[in-house]
C-alpha cells in the first residue's frame, strides 16, 4: 500500500456529486484495496451553503471559491460534477493546467471541447477521464480504448437517453400520446421541467459525439451530428410500426465507410425482434460493430446517482493506480486520422412515410410516380379504409434504401399534389 492517500477535490454536490460522496465514504476499504491508497475528500466546491451540513461532511471541506480547490496542494484528482458548459469547461481546463488529474461526467463539455482539453492534459501530463459522460455506469469508453482496440469499428447504434426511451416505451406499451407520456415522465422525475435537451435529441447527440470520437479516432463535435427529436411521433405511428413488425426508438447512429463518417440522432423504426427493440424504460444500450468482434451490445442504467458513481469512482481508482505505480496516464495526442463528415443529405436509409390522402382512384399511382422519379422504390404499403365523413384515407409507405435528399424532395413534391392532404410523419428505418 502506498504511503500517502490520494486527495479528491469535488466540484458540485448535486444528485451525482452526493452519490459519489456516498460511495467514497461508504466503502473506503474496498476502494483503498483497489486503488492502492486511501481516497480522501479534501475539498468540495459548492455555491449552495445549505448543502454544507449534508452527508456528514466537515464544514471546513466546503468552499465557494474554485481557486481554493484548484490550488489545494493535497488535491490530486479534481472531479467535475457541476454540469453544463460554463463554468465547468474553464474549471476543467484550469485544473488540468494546474497539474490536477480530472474526472468528469460532463457530456456537453467533452463533446464540445474534448480535443482542446486533451491537448492541455497532454501538455501537463495528467489524466482526463469521462467514462460517466456516456451510458451512466455501463462500461463503454474503456472497452473502446482497450478491449476493442484491435478492431476497426464500422457502426454504433445507441439508445443513449433514458428519458426519451421511457417516453417511447410508454407510447408503445400503453398507447399514450407524446404529451401524456412526457407529463408522466416529468411526474416520475425522469424528465426535467424543461425537457428540450432530452426530447430534441441534443443530450444523445453530445453522447454520440463522445462515442464517435473514441470509436473512430476522429473528433466529431455536436455540430457534426444531425439531431431530430421524438415530439412529432404519434400513437398511430406506434400502431403502424407494430403492424409492420417494428419498434420505434430514438437511436444515436454513427457509421464509417472508408474515410467518411455519418453521425445522426433521430427516431428510427427497428425490427421488433432486434435486441435494441427490447430495451425498455430508462435503460440504455449500445450496439457496436467491429471487423473482428462482430456485433457487441452493452446494456445498463444510463443515469442515476448510483450507476453514474460506479463509473466516476472507477475513473478515480484508475488514476490513483497510475499515481501509485508512478506511471503517467496522460492521454496520447489523439485524433490523428482525418475523416470527413457525410452531410445528412447524402445518407442512404429506408423510410416510413405516413400521409393523409383523398380517397380517390389513382392516388397511389401519382405518389408512386413522384417517388419513382426520385429513384425511391416502395417496399410495402398499407392503406386504411377512408373515414366516410371526410373521405380522407391514411397511407403508410415503407421504402427500400433511398437517398435522404431525394426523399425530402419527393415528399415536398407529393405534398403539392391536390390529392395529398398532408405528409403526417416520416421516420427513418434501420435493419
- CB-based contact 103:10 (threshold 8 Å): no
Nearer to a copy of itself among residue 125 and residue 391 (C-beta): 125
As measured in angstroms, the least distance from the Cβ of 49 to a copy of itself is: 29
d(CA 398, CA 55): 55
Q: Is 386 in the site for a copy of itself (CB under 8 A)?
A: no
Nearer to a copy of itself among residue 35 and residue 411 (C-beta): 35
| Closest CA relative to residue 367, chosen from 425, 414, 423, 424 | 414
Taking CB under 8 A as the binding criterion, the range among 202-210, 233-241, 275-283, 385-393 that sits at the site for a copy of itself is 275-283
Taking CB under 8 A as the binding criterion, the range among 139-147, 189-197, 357-365, 383-391 that sits at the site for a copy of itself is 139-147
In this structure, what C-alpha cell is assigned to residue 254? Answer: 454513427
Nearer to a copy of itself among residue 77 and residue 407 (C-beta): 77
Q: Which of residues 305-334 bind a copy of itself (CB under 8 A)?
A: 306-307, 309-311, 313-314, 317-318, 325, 327-328
Sign of the Cα pseudo-torsion (234, 235, 236, 239, in order): positive
CA atoms within a 13 Å half-sphere pointing along the CA-CB vector of 57: 28
Please return the burial class of 177, using the count of CB atoms within 10 Å of its CB with bins 0-12, 13-18 and 19+: middle
Site string for a copy of itself, 10-49 (x = CB under 8 A): -------------x---x--xx-xx---------------
As measured in angstroms, the least distance from the Cβ of 45 to a copy of itself is: 22
Measured CA distances, 347 to 402, 403, 431 (Å): 8, 6, 15
d(CA 51, CA 35): 28
Taking CB under 8 A as the binding criterion, the range among 52-60, 239-247, 296-304, 419-427 that sits at the site for a copy of itself is 296-304
Residue of the chain from 301, 351, 363, 395 that contacts a copy of itself (CB under 8 A): 301
Catalytic residue among 207, 249, 255, 342: 207
Nearer to a copy of itself among residue 146 and residue 385 (C-beta): 146
In sequence order, what E strands does 166-235 have? 226-227
Q: How far is CA 203 from the centre of its chain?
A: 6
d(CA 188, CA 203): 19
Residue of the chain from 14, 143, 271, 334 that contacts a copy of itself (CB under 8 A): 143
Per the annotation, the verdict on 332 as an active-site residue is no
Q: Which of residues 244-273 bind a copy of itself (CB under 8 A)?
A: 273
Q: Which of residues 107-136 bind a copy of itself (CB under 8 A)?
A: 131
Alpha helices in 218-329 (DSSP H): 235-244, 305-325
| Closest CA relative to residue 324, chosen from 35, 29, 28 | 35
In sequence order, what E strands does 17-168 have? 39-45, 62-63, 77-80, 101-104, 128-129, 153-159
Q: Is 155 in the site for a copy of itself (CB under 8 A)?
A: no
d(CA 225, CA 216): 14
Nearer to a copy of itself among residue 217 and residue 401 (C-beta): 217
d(CA 346, CA 340): 12
Angle in degrees, 0-180, between the axes of helices 202-216 and 107-124, rounded to the nearest 10: 30
As measured in angstroms, the least distance from the Cβ of 344 to a copy of itself is: 29
Alpha-carbon torsion, ordered 151, 152, 157, 160, to 10 deg: 70
Q: How far is CA 290 from the centre of its chain?
A: 20
Taking CB under 8 A as the binding criterion, the range among 141-149, 172-180, 230-238, 254-262 that sits at the site for a copy of itself is 141-149
Residue of the chain from 122, 244, 299, 417 that contacts a copy of itself (CB under 8 A): 299
Nearer to a copy of itself among residue 149 and residue 193 (C-beta): 149
Nearer to a copy of itself among residue 164 and residue 309 (C-beta): 309
Taking CB under 8 A as the binding criterion, the range among 138-146, 246-254, 360-368, 397-405 that sits at the site for a copy of itself is 138-146
As measured in angstroms, the least distance from the Cβ of 342 to a copy of itself is: 22
Nearer to a copy of itself among residue 48 and residue 147 (C-beta): 147
Q: Is 146 in the site for a copy of itself (CB under 8 A)?
A: yes
Which are the catalytic amino acids?
Answer: 207
Interface residues with a copy of itself (CB under 8 A) are 23, 27, 30-31, 33-34, 131, 137-139, 142-143, 146-152, 273, 275, 278-279, 290-301, 304, 306-307, 309-311, 313-314, 317-318, 325, 327-328, 336
Amino acid at each position: 500500500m502506498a504511503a500517502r492517500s490520494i486527495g479528491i477535490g469535488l466540484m458540485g454536490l448535486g444528485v451525482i456529486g452526493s452519490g459519489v460522496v456516498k460511495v467514497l465514504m461508504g466503502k473506503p476499504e474496498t476502494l483503498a484495496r483497489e486503488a492502492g491508497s486511501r481516497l480522501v475528500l479534501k475539498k468540495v466546491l459548492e455555491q449552495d451553503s445549505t448543502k454544507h451540513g449534508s452527508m456528514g461532511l466537515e464544514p471546513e471541506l466546503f468552499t465557494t471559491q474554485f481557486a481554493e480547490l484548484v490550488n489545494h496542494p493535497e488535491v490530486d484528482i479534481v472531479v467535475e460534477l457541476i454540469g453544463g458548459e460554463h463554468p465547468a469547461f474553464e474549471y476543467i481546463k484550469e485544473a488540468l493546467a494546474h497539474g490536477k488529474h480530472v474526472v468528469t461526467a460532463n457530456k456537453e463539455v467533452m463533446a464540445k471541447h474534448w480535443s482542446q482539453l486533451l491537448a492541455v492534459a497532454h501538455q501537463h501530463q495528467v489524466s482526463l477521464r469521462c467514462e460517466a459522460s456516456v451510458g451512466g455506469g455501463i462500461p463503454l469508453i474503456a472497452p473502446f480504448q482497450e478491449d476493442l482496440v484491435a478492431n476497426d469499428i464500422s457502426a454504433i447504434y445507441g439508445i443513449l437517453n433514458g428519458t426519451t426511451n421511457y417516453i417511447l416505451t410508454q407510447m408503445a406499451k400503453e398507447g399514450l400520446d407524446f404529451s401524456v407520456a412526457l407529463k408522466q415522465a416529468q411526474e416520475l422525475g425522469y424528465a426535467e421541467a424543461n425537457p428540450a435537451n432530452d426530447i430534441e435529441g441534443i443530450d444523445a447527440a453530445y453522447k454520440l459525439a463522445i462515442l464517435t470520437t473514441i470509436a473512430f479516432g476522429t473528433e466529431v463535435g455536436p455540430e457534426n451530428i444531425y439531431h431530430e427529436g421524438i415530439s412529432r411521433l404519434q400513437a398511430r405511428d406506434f400502431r403502424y410500426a407494430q403492424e409492420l413488425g417494428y419498434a420505434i426508438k430514438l437511436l444515436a447512429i454513427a457509421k464509417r465507410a472508408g474515410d467518411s463518417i455519418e453521425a445522426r440522432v433521430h427516431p428510427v423504426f427497428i425490427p421488433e425482434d432486434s435486441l435494441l427493440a427490447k430495451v425498455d424504460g430508462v435503460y440504455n444500450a449500445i450496439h457496436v460493430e467491429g471487423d473482428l468482434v462482430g456485433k457487441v451490445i452493452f446494456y445498463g442504467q444510463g443515469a442515476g446517482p448510483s450507476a453514474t458513481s460506479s463509473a466516476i469512482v472507477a475513473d478515480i481508482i484508475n488514476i490513483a493506480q497510475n499515481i501509485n505505480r508512478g506511471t503517467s496516464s496522460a492521454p496520447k495526442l489523439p485524433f490523428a486520422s482525418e475523416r470527413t463528415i457525410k452531410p445528412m443529405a447524402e445518407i442512404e436509409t429506408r423510410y416510413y412515410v405516413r400521409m393523409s390522402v383523398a380517397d380517390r382512384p389513382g392516388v397511389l399511382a401519382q405518389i408512386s410516380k413522384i417517388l419513382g422519379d426520385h429513384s425511391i422504390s416502395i417496399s410495402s404499403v398499407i392503406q386504411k379504409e377512408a373515414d366516410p365523413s371526410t373521405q380522407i384515407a391514411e397511407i403508410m409507405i415503407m421504402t427500400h434504401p433511398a437517398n435522404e435528399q431525394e426523399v425530402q424532395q419527393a415528399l415536398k413534391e407529393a405534398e403539392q399534389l391536390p390529392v395529398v392532404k398532408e405528409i403526417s410523419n416520416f421516420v427513418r428505418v434501420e435493419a
